[in-house]
C-alpha cells in the first residue's frame, strides 16, 4: 500500500479514512465521518406515531412503515461515505481503495457505489476493526490482505 491508497474503516455510525505514509505501518487519518442517528434506538428516531384513518370498522394506520427507521439512517450514512469516496475520485486523491467494514455495511456501501469508486477497490475486509486500537487494526488488516 502506498500514499495513493485510501483505507476506509467503517461501521453503521462512524467511518475513518486513512492514508499510508512512508512505511506502510504509518497511517495518517485523512477524514472521519460520523452519523449518530445510526446508533440511536428506533424509538428515539420516531418523532410521533403514524397518522390514523377512521373507518366504519374501526381505525387503522394511514401509513405503515416498511423499512425500520434505523435501517434508513444506516443507508443514509452509507451514501454519505460513498459521496466522500466519489469526491476523492473527482479530485484524483487516490488510485486504490481498501474497504474494511462488517458484512452488512460492506453490502450497503457496494449497493450505492459509483462505478468509478468501485473500479478503485483493490481489497475488501468484511470485519469490524474500526474500534480496535489503530496499531492492532493495521496489523489485522495487513494479515487479512496478505492471506495469513
Cell of 52: 390514523
Range of the domain at 125: 5-41+67-146
DSSP string, 18-44: EEEETTTTEEEEEEEEE-GGGTS-HHH
pLDDT digits (tens, 9 = 90+) for 17-50: 999 887 656 889 999 999 876 554 555 545 445 5
**Dist. CA 95–CA 6, nearest whole Å:** 8
**Dist. CA 25–CA 65, nearest whole Å:** 46
Question: Per the domain annotation, does 61 fall within a domain?
Answer: no
What is the predicted pLDDT for the residue at 24? 57
pLDDT digits (tens, 9 = 90+) for 94-139: 999 999 999 999 999 999 999 999 999 999 999 999 999 888 999 9
- CATH number of the domain enclosing 31: 3.30.420.60
The overall average pLDDT reported for the chain is: 83
Question: Per the domain annotation, does 52 fall within a domain?
Answer: no
Question: Per the domain annotation, does 34 fall within a domain?
Answer: yes
Question: Per the domain annotation, does 98 fall within a domain?
Answer: yes
Question: Per the domain annotation, does 14 fall within a domain?
Answer: yes
What is the predicted pLDDT for the residue at 37? 63
Question: Per the domain annotation, does 134 fall within a domain?
Answer: yes
Question: Per the domain annotation, does 46 fall within a domain?
Answer: no
Question: Per the domain annotation, does 54 fall within a domain?
Answer: no
Task: Name the strands in the sheet holding 14-21, side by side, starting at the edge strand that comes first in the sequence.
Answer: 26-34, 14-21, 5-10, 96-100, 121-125
Q: Taking the alpha carbons of 123, 125, 131, 134 in that order, is the dihedral positive or negative?
A: negative
CA distances (Å), 37 to each of 32, 33, 46, 52, 101, in order?
16, 12, 11, 26, 18
Number of domains in the chain: 1
For residue 51, name the pLDDT band (cuts at 50, 70, 90). low
Amino acid at each position: 500500500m502506498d500514499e495513493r491508497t485510501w483505507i476506509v474503516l467503517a461501521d453503521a455510525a462512524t467511518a475513518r479514512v486513512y492514508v499510508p505514509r512512508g512505511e506502510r505501518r504509518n497511517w495518517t487519518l485523512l477524514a472521519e465521518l460520523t452519523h449518530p442517528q445510526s446508533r440511536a434506538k428506533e424509538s428515539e428516531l420516531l418523532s410521533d406515531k403514524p397518522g390514523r384513518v377512521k373507518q366504519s370498522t374501526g381505525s387503522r394506520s394511514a401509513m405503515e412503515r416498511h423499512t425500520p427507521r434505523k435501517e434508513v439512517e444506516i443507508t443514509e450514512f452509507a451514501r454519505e461515505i460513498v459521496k466522500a469516496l466519489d469526491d476523492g475520485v473527482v479530485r484524483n486523491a487516490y488510485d486504490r481503495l481498501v474497504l474494511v467494514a462488517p458484512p452488512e455495511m460492506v453490502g450497503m456501501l457496494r449497493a450505492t457505489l459509483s462505478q468509478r469508486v468501485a473500479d478503485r477497490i483493490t481489497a475488501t475486509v468484511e470485519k469490524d476493526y474500526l474500534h480496535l486500537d489503530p496499531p492492532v487494526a493495521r496489523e489485522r488488516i495487513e494479515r487479512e490482505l496478505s492471506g495469513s
